[in-house]
Amino acid sequence: MEQWLQLIGDTGFPIVVTMYLMHRIEGKLDVLIQTIQMLPVRIHDEKRESTDRTGRMHLTEKIQ
């Protein structure tokens, strides 16, 4: 607790709040980045799974 008070005294309350919020959101941003990077692979896999053995698309799949 003393470290927080010292940090607030040295840098100011808004800076400390900003640092805290950035620290909290860092993990969430990492997960979001991984999800976005894996999106093309998952879309490709979903399209492949939606075709049956004859290569025809299921009726629920949109034709582009």
Structural domain count of the chain: 1
Evaluate whether residue 29 is within a structural domain: yes
> Which residue segment(s) compose the domain that 39 sits in?
2-48
Evaluate whether residue 14 is within a structural domain: yes
Lowest mean pLDDT among 3-7, 26-30, 53-57: 53-57
How far apart CA 31 and CA 47 sit, in angstroms, is 24
Q: What are phi and psi of 57, to 5 degrees?
A: -80, 150
Averaged pLDDT, 22-44: 92
How far apart CA 59 and CA 54 sit, in angstroms, is 14
State pTM to two decimals: 0.49
pLDDT digits (tens, 9 = 90+) for 11-25: 888 888 898 899 999
Evaluate whether residue 55 is within a structural domain: no
Percent of the chain with pLDDT over 70: 78
Q: Which of 61, 23, 2, 36 is nearest to 15 (CA)?
A: 23
Evaluate whether residue 34 is within a structural domain: yes
Evaluate whether residue 57 is within a structural domain: no
Evaluate whether residue 40 is within a structural domain: yes
Asked if pLDDT for residue 29 goes beyond 90, the answer is yes
